[in-house]
Amino acid sequence: MRRFITAGSAFLATGLAASAASASFTANYMGYGNFQSHSVGYSTALAWNSVASVSMFNLKLAEHRWEVGGETVYTWCAQLYQGVTAGNAYQYQAVALELAPQTPPAPGPMGAAKATILRDAMSRWLDSDGRVVASAGSADARAAAFCALAWEIIHENLQTSDAMVGKDRISLQSGAFRAGLTGEAAAIFTAMVNSLGQGGFQGVSAEGWNSPTVQDQFRLVPSPGSIALLGLAGLCVRRRR
């Protein structure tokens, strides 16, 4: 079951995220969850409608599994130009989704319009554990499709503060971000894009994980209070040390 939030609780979640951001927490990276490999390219300066050539590379479009405070947490990559390594522990700050990812490197904080589109996608397509709903399709294909959608939203130069205009500029064939999805993943991606904003943009509690040195992440938060708990977990870890 997915968890939706009202406008009032959205402000509460944002406030908790801002509070939690003052204290870092430790997340132990356990590796990929479900994934597929597809061709991906990113040229930071291109406008959303550019069809200029972009160099493409084969990358894993994946869920990411973490251990935080003894619990398994699933996140999604918010930043192509940095990485994380399975078995390592990393320090992050929990921030409002609008503030992720931090820069450098590109693309920098997504801001309000992109966060609105991304929350809508998360509310429609992620379950309460932060993974793509099973009804979307096979596990690996649905993970790849959602990852591609998130990367497109976050990395594309949508050049608008209007979420409705922005979602209509989403395309994997043009712009700064490109991806060559195939097969089932491509079909799921199309269904996801077509759902955005239908009946109005939906909200869900979400946060970013920012780090100046490793790949930033974002995730669906099962309840608004979990953001604050992550911050407290970070404080407890530092005190034990």
Q: Is residue 1 part of a domain?
A: no
- Stretch 148-176: mean pLDDT: 98
Q: Is residue 104 part of a domain?
A: yes
Q: What percent of the chain has pLDDT over 70?
A: 83
Residue at 220: amino acid letter: L
Q: Where residue 9 falls among pLDDT bands split at 50, 70, 90?
A: very low
Sign for the CA dihedral angle at 132, 205, 203, 209 comes to negative
For residues 72 and 193, the answer to whether their CB atoms sit within 8 Å is no
Q: pTM of the predicted model, to two decimals?
A: 0.86
Q: Is residue 113 part of a domain?
A: yes
- Stretch 86-111: mean pLDDT: 97
Q: Is residue 223 part of a domain?
A: yes
- Stretch 109-129: mean pLDDT: 98
Give dist(CA 122, CA 196) in Å, integer: 10
- For residue 40, the cross-strand partners are 57, 179
pLDDT tens per residue, range 62-91 = 999 999 999 999 999 999 999 999 999 999
Q: Is residue 97 part of a domain?
A: yes
pLDDT tens per residue, range 15-45 = 334 444 446 999 999 999 999 999 999 999 9
Residue 7 has pLDDT above 50, yes or no: no
Domain holding 137, by residue range, is 7-240
Please tell me the total count of domains within the chain.
1
Exposure on the CB side of residue 203, measured as CA atoms within 13 A: 16
Question: What is the number of helices (H) and of strands (E) in the chain?
Answer: 6, 7
Residue 45, φ and ψ in degrees, nearest 5:
-85, -10
pLDDT recorded at residue 132: 98
Element (DSSP H or E) covering residue 236: helix 225-240
pLDDT recorded at residue 237: 41
Give dist(CA 69, CA 89) in Å, integer: 12
pLDDT recorded at residue 123: 98
Q: Is residue 62 part of a domain?
A: yes
Which of 89-98, 167-176, 224-233 has the lowest average pLDDT? Answer: 224-233
pLDDT recorded at residue 23: 63
Residue 227 has pLDDT above 50, yes or no: no
Q: Is residue 176 part of a domain?
A: yes
Residue 131 has pLDDT above 50, yes or no: yes
Which of 99-103, 198-202, 223-227, 232-236 has the lowest average pLDDT? Answer: 232-236
Q: Is residue 200 part of a domain?
A: yes
pLDDT recorded at residue 136: 98
pLDDT recorded at residue 17: 42
Q: Where residue 224 falls among pLDDT bands split at 50, 70, 90?
A: low
Which of 1-10, 62-71, 139-148 has the lowest average pLDDT? Answer: 1-10
Residue 13 has pLDDT above 80, yes or no: no
Spacing of C-alpha 94 from chain mean position: 13
Which of 1-5, 51-55, 126-130, 199-203 has the lowest average pLDDT? Answer: 1-5
Residue 8 has pLDDT above 70, yes or no: no
Give dist(CA 88, CA 171) in Å, integer: 34
Comparing CA positions, the residue from 131, 162, 161 lying closest to residue 147 is 131
